[in-house]
Amino acid sequence: MLFSSNLDDEVFLANEAQRQEYILNQDGVIYWGTENAVLAQPWDFSQFEEDIVDICFTLLDVGERHRDKDHTQRKNPVYIGRTVAAMLNCDEFRGILTECGTGQYFNGTPPSKWLGSGPILRQWVASQCKPVRYGQCWVFAAVMCSVLRCLGIPTRVVTGFTWAHNTNSSLSVDEYYDEDGTLLTQDKSARVWTFHVWNECWMARADLLPEYSGWQALDATCQEKRKGPSFCGPAPVQAIKEGDTEVDYDVCYFFAAINAKCQVWIQKTDDTLRPALGSTKYTGNNISTKSVGSERCEDITHNYKYPEGSLQEKVALDKAYTKIKELEATSSSSKTQFSSIPTTLEEPVNLFIHLQSKNSLLRGQDIPLSIEVFNHSGGEKSTHLVVGAQSLHYKGVPVTQLWKEEFHLILRSNEANNLQVFVPYSRYREELGEDHLLRLTATLKDEDSFYIYFAQEEISICDPPLTIEFPENMVQYQPSTAKISLLNPLTEPLEKCVIVVAGRGLIYRQRKYK
């Protein structure tokens, strides 16, 4: 260990239960899914396996070859955090992991197949420090958690839902759909991710004011930044909450990612764009981490943001907006660190549309959709409704359009119309996508005024759970048998199944059963 739990250490954490959880616990949970259906994946951090300590110091040695080598800096947790974050993603130096495009996992392990950090770190060392294929945000965060805990820095894995990525600190981001509600692929890298995973590390910030000590956000996933390394942090969580966007490191990026507003635009057949009404999406929801001493999911959104609509939230946002104006006034370029304040579109109160479905479903089930349309206007309305389903990568990239259905509705004044439709399993069976996410959309066009109203929902399609049963009595150091079972919910048989089993202290490394 480089750091200890001594009272005078910069990473000292006073609470003993938190020290047990954030330094010593080798078992963790990573959260994913959607903001309305948070799902859990167990993870083996393995930070105290016999070879992991040596690997962590090799990682520091390799990382320091690309910057000023000064071992005296190793007592500084900020320096260690930035060095490890730079080494996680191969975009910085010869990193531990390679990040790959959607579904392009040739000659490597898909990110969803990793069960723990140990195999990744061992493979990296065995290959003479060549990047391991492949990782995504949750893998970067999990491995960084293992390394930092091993070195003695209290660390946890954090997941945020509806995350504005690569906004370059802009407080607004756009999504584009066609008139049928199909999400379009844009050249712009700024997207709203369904979820994102990063780390928090506990440390004193001797380089900042005392109120900025405590939990620091650290993100190894690549960001497009105008200057500096592609990772972000460590950024004081308190500074993110208060809107102190000038504070080091990269507070502005975290603040924008969880406070940006997303405007939906409809691209018409003549390529003109019209704003979709009723469709503003807010980022930074259900920020979650594993609770201390249990498997329970703890919502820590309040650490990052004040309650929506509160006076404190307004003060934090105004502070950030003021910083925007200052940068715009002093910048010699038209490009500044932040974009202008997102404006609110004036919406005519004529029609209302609401889309609802179950938050998560078991694979094999048809997807029920409930669409409510209401005419607020004083006259009859002729409307065109298109309801659709699209498979989606968690980074906001569309996979394929799976299903759509159209309706022509005549709505009398103050009349509501409720429709119940189903997306059959056969429509998403073959092209669900690796992240098992579906985006459901409803587009309502007022044929008199040509205003377009829009609603969307994201749902997770879950695989059936594995059940593990142990004997009632087990004897230490004696062989025992566990029963692993799965109930197939589909009408067709499952073929070529592989079960991967890992159990630290129970079996050696990982075993595959076919």
Q: Which residues are catalytic?
A: 137, 196, 219
> In this structure, what token pair is assigned to residue 355?
């889309």
> In this structure, what token pair is assigned to residue 128?
């003479």
Please tell me the distance from the alpha carbon of residue 89 to that of residue 51, in angstroms, as a whole number: 21
> Three-class SS of residue 105?
coil
Please tell me the distance from the alpha carbon of residue 275 to that of residue 33, in angstroms, as a whole number: 28
Please tell me the distance from the alpha carbon of residue 358 to that of residue 42, in angstroms, as a whole number: 24
Please tell me the distance from the alpha carbon of residue 164 to that of residue 182, in angstroms, as a whole number: 20
**DSSP calls for 263-295:** EEEEEPTTS-EEEPBT--EE--EEEEEEPTTSS
Query: Tell me, what amino acid is at 329?
Result: A
Residue 432 backbone phi and psi in degrees, to 5: -70, -30
Q: Are 47 and 149 in contact (CB under 8 A)?
A: yes
Catalogue the long-range contacts made by 71-74 (C-beta closer than 8 Å, 24 or more residues apart). 74/2
> Three-class SS of residue 253?
helix
Find tokens 């650490």 and name the residue.
303
DSSP 75: G
Please tell me the distance from the alpha carbon of residue 298 to that of residue 38, in angstroms, as a whole number: 11
Please tell me the distance from the alpha carbon of residue 415 to that of residue 378, in angstroms, as a whole number: 10
Q: Are 207 and 199 in contact (CB under 8 A)?
A: no
Q: Are 85 and 220 in contact (CB under 8 A)?
A: yes
> In this structure, what token pair is assigned to residue 245?
């966007």
**DSSP calls for 6-62:** -TTSTT----HHHHIIIII--EEEEEEEETTEEEEEEEE--TTSTTHHHHHHHHHHH
Query: Tell me, what amino acid is at 430?
Result: E
* 410 Cβ contact partners less than 8 Å away, ≥ 6 residues apart: 380, 381, 382, 383
> In this structure, what token pair is assigned to residue 476?
């230490």
Q: Are 265 and 124 in contact (CB under 8 A)?
A: no
Please tell me the distance from the alpha carbon of residue 184 to that of residue 172, in angstroms, as a whole number: 18
Please tell me the distance from the alpha carbon of residue 371 to that of residue 421, in angstroms, as a whole number: 8
Please tell me the distance from the alpha carbon of residue 443 to that of residue 406, in angstroms, as a whole number: 10
